[in-house]
Amino acid sequence: MNFIHIAMPRITYRTLHMQALEYYTSAILQFDGNPVLFTNRAQTHIKLEQFDDAVADCQKAIRLKPDSVKAQIHLARALSGRGEFQVGPKT
């Protein structure tokens, strides 16, 4: 059995995350009051190790929806990525 090898462009996760970043940014330009778009873009920033941008997006999401657990979790991950740790109170 003969198989034809077709050269396909190599798509990396980084490429996919960069494309997702563009889509989320485009959506935010149209719907800047939607905290889910900011948390999703923050997650993409985290995957790309763009922690400062992720923190900014999480803070925006929290301003829009203060009880957003997703935004708090992503904010913690972004701050951790920046090397910022805070010890919680002892009980």
Total domains in the fold of the chain: 1
Containing structural domain, residue 31: 13-81
Residue 86 lies in a domain: no
Residue 60's domain is classified under what CATH number? 1.25.40.10
Q: What's the half-sphere exposure (Cβ side, CA atoms, 13 Å) at 11?
A: 5
Note down pLDDT in tens along the chain; length 91 residues.
566 656 656 778 999 999 999 999 999 999 999 999 999 999 999 999 999 999 999 999 999 999 999 999 999 999 999 999 766 556 5
40 CB-near residues (< 8 Å, 6+ apart): 24
Residue 5 lies in a domain: no
